[in-house]
Amino acid sequence: MTAKNPVISSDKIPEALYPVIESLCSVSIDIAKIIARGPLGQSLGHEVGENSDGDGQKALDVLTDEMFAEGLRTQDVRWYASEEQEEVVELNPKGSLALAIDPLDGSSNIDVNVSIGTIFSIYDAKPEANESFLRIANEQLAGGYVIYGPQVGLVVTFGAGTLQYVLDPDAGEFILVNDALTIPDNSNEFAINASNYRHWRKPVRAFIDDCVAGTDGPREENFNMRWVGSLVAEAHRILTRGGIFLYPSDARPGYEDGRLRMTYECAPIAFLIEQAGGKATDGSDPIMKHSVSKLHARTPLIFGSADKVDRVATYHDLPEQEVSALFGKRGLFRT
């Protein structure tokens, strides 16, 4: 009998985490096949209910959650925390790891054939379910995402740089294409949902005003904007060609801490970004130093090239009259 080919090489992956990563990869290959069939297969994008936080759940959200939980059940994972489930689930009582996951990020893009993904974060398991996840982000053992796009890719960090793999669809194997992904710092792209402009706080408005003003404004250079609506797609673009992403807090009810969840969205993305030489903050403070007190808690998230993320923090420190003024009056630019 011939041994089954591994779906990912063990070379760069810590031994203790390899079986779990391999299992995540196997499940994601099956998910990629389902996504690729789109309307030829089962209906994926229709609403089937709401998750604990009132977000609409699509059929693919629920299906992918079941597939990951099932695939990880025989692994070293004791605690499984999913965006799609209110409480932490115990998978393997003997497991030594705790895994948080957004099984299908960007579900509004399922039916429109735009990149979507899976985001995950791994900690060592504590005896109690919630305490395994309600901890400082820099205690993560691994953070990563799978992107289901024109290519299927895995981007992952174990705290020693950011690794990029691409799925070879013929071989059914994730192949390492970059063992030290580094965010370029020469991009002038920003990503934000600009339809929320009127709800933003002044520092965010001022930062975006100055980007939009281009060569006519204090930055004296032009910027470009992108907004996909899938965090993995934005993260992948920024890891590949630089730029900045902002999902700030805003004045809409329920958006006091932005939209994105700390445990299975912001913490792993921040880990990947920092390991690729970038920065990730809540506007002022590093996400990697944050902890939350509730499993599904949200946090504002700003990430990308380090200098751009630093600049957003500077806007938060500007005096009131300068942050209110449009074009060219900000002390930040007078040095």
Q: Whose structure tokens read 């597939």?
A: 67
Strand partners, 123: 98
Q: What are phi and psi of 158, to 5 degrees?
A: -115, 20
Q: How far is the CB of 312 from ligand AFP (least distance, A)?
A: 17
> Toward ligand AFP, which CB reaches closer, 236 or 259?
259
Q: How far is the CB of 150 from ligand AFP (least distance, A)?
A: 18
Q: Which two tokens stand for residue 208?
A: 């975006």
> Toward ligand AFP, which CB reaches closer, 229 or 286?
229
> Toward ligand AFP, which CB reaches closer, 107 or 164?
107
Q: Which of 183, 193, 189, 152 is nearest to 272 (CA)?
A: 183
Instruction: Report how far residue 274's alpha carbon sits from residue 276's, in angstroms, rounded to the nearest whole number.
Output: 5
How distant is the alpha carbon of residue 186 from its chain centre? 22
Per-residue exposure over 199-226, b if at least 16 CB sit within 10 Å of its own CB, e if not: ebbebbbbbbbbbbbeeebbbeeebeee
Burial of 142 from C-beta contacts in 10 A (0-12 / 13-18 / 19+): buried
Q: Which of 324, 131, 319 is nearest to 332 (CA)?
A: 319
By beta carbon distance, the residue nearest ligand AFP is 231
Give the β-pairing of 142-148 and 116-124.
antiparallel
> Toward ligand AFP, which CB reaches closer, 233 or 288?
233
Q: Which of 102, 116, 103, 111 is nearest to 152 (CA)?
A: 116
Strand partners, 167: 174
> Toward ligand AFP, which CB reaches closer, 75 or 230?
230
On whether the CB atoms of residues 318 and 206 are closer than 8 A, the answer is yes
> Toward ligand AFP, which CB reaches closer, 176 or 225?
225
Q: How far is the CB of 97 from ligand AFP (least distance, A)?
A: 24
Q: How far is the CB of 15 from ligand AFP (least distance, A)?
A: 32
List contacts with ligand AFP (CB under 6 A). 55, 105-108, 193, 229-231, 247, 259-260
Q: How far is the CB of 48 from ligand AFP (least distance, A)?
A: 13
On whether the CB atoms of residues 264 and 82 are closer than 8 A, the answer is yes
Q: How far is the CB of 194 from ligand AFP (least distance, A)?
A: 10
Q: How far is the CB of 73 from ligand AFP (least distance, A)?
A: 24
> Toward ligand AFP, which CB reaches closer, 8 or 238?
238
Residue 322 is classified by DSSP as: H
Q: How far is the CB of 159 from ligand AFP (least distance, A)?
A: 24
> Toward ligand AFP, which CB reaches closer, 58 or 219?
58
